[in-house]
Structure 1
């Protein structure tokens, strides 16, 4: 009888916890891309937590109840139980698949060339090409006739310019490489794309918050890989316009 009473109690408890799980507050996102990714992670955690508690609760209860039992006996077929856990597993997998597809289908998370062309055609959007070179970054502002270079890791320094982007503006970043495989990764903004020789990949994002963020190369590319860093400066639109017109005399 205790087992029959414990099961509904566990269901109520885990259901209550799932309703109030909020691992990360819904505010404070630095970009629309980060918001999509964090919201998906939070949703998955909210779904996984009650399932984990339910399974562990049943496991602990079973171990305790049968701790003094004799030698284990062969189990008997229980079609109702088998159908129940098969359907439950299918529902969980369907939920995960639909939720993940809904996020991965967003152009701000996984951008295609067609998505990028449409975004670049929008008024007031900004397009920047980020070229990975052993071991620094070249940034070319497509509409501004401006190219800048970051500090180089490894053999000397060729420049010291951040990637400057405007806040609350749709931004398209084209990634490419002049030599080996690199990867453009700004984790605080939720941005990542491979930079490949002879190929362009695209990042589309929006609603960037002002601030300074770290850019890494996330693909091992040689002895200077760990030093292939740069700052991303997100500034207001007026400061951005001043920078692309006169980067040497604009403080960012």
Structure 2
């Protein structure tokens, strides 16, 4: 019996250490950092509860495995009050922690038009259509994002606010860049804005997360996070291009032409 208890204690200790170990990992954006921190806090609550329930379950099954005439349970008000209060405390913690994340502007942006209301940051218009994306920079004369192998390539600077104004030309779509923690519905006739601050340079895959028709799986785009110097160089190259073929277009560009340019 003593050996079983020691084994149980050792198992619980290993699990606790695994949960408590919080490796410092670089987060791609302020949004993903907030979401991952919340997930970690919820894990700290969920894992001990799960372990406690499982231990009680296995203990009960083991102790009464040979009981042929079990006795009915008796009312225990102290126990009922205890788990009711404990549940209320846990729910309060989850609610407060979740609200703190949801209220952050990098998760739920409630500002106005970022073009008019912000002095810093980069604004990108993400205009979805069947079946592609028209990514433009409205602060720079609606300059179109260059198209690459995986659709439009949106270039943004690191450590600077980025606003994505998401809308749709036809049916419901969804802007989704999972590594950056970004997701927003693209609704016809409505513009929804999401905000983040990229924290790590690199290329992040994005796609449409709302089934929108036969070529839904082709609706890719990439977000390339670069240094401020590289971003300025990118702007200079785009604005100095006099050809006007692929680097300059308006929001009213035909979806067929944009799709052909992305092919």
TM-score tier by shorter-chain length is 0.7 to 0.9
Structure 1: stretches of 5+ with no match in the other structure: 154-159
The offset of 1:49, in angstroms, is 0.8
Of 138, 163, 169, which aligns to 1:172? 163
- On the 8 A contact 1:132/1:177 being kept in 2, the answer is yes
Structure-1 separation of matches of 2:234 and 2:182: 23
Counterpart secondary structure, 1:29: coil
Matched residue count: 235
Length-normalised TM-score, structure 1: 0.83
- On the 8 A contact 2:198/2:225 being kept in 1, the answer is no
Runs of 4+ residues deviating >6 angstroms: none
The offset of 1:44, in angstroms, is 0.8
Match of 2:205 in 1: 214
Structure-2 separation of matches of 1:43 and 1:92: 11
Q: State whether structure 2 residue 31 is matched by structure 1 residue 40.
A: no
The offset of 1:80, in angstroms, is 0.7
The offset of 1:26, in angstroms, is 3.3
Q: How does 1:108-123 map to 2 (within 5 A)?
A: 108-114=106-112, 117=114, 121-123=117-119
User: What's the CA shift string for 1:222-245, capped at 9, x where partnerless?
Assistant: 111011101111111122122223
Of 79, 84, 87, which aligns to 1:86? 84
User: What's the CA shift string for 1:140-189, capped at 9, x where partnerless?
Assistant: 11211112364799xxxxxx540111111111110000111111000011
- On the 8 A contact 1:181/1:196 being kept in 2, the answer is yes
Match of 1:182 in 2: 173
Structure-1 separation of matches of 2:213 and 2:22: 36
Once superposed, what is the RMSD of the aligned Cα atoms?
2.8
- On the 8 A contact 1:136/1:229 being kept in 2, the answer is yes
User: What's the CA shift string for 1:95-148, capped at 9, x where partnerless?
Assistant: 11111111111110111244x64x964433111110101111111112111123
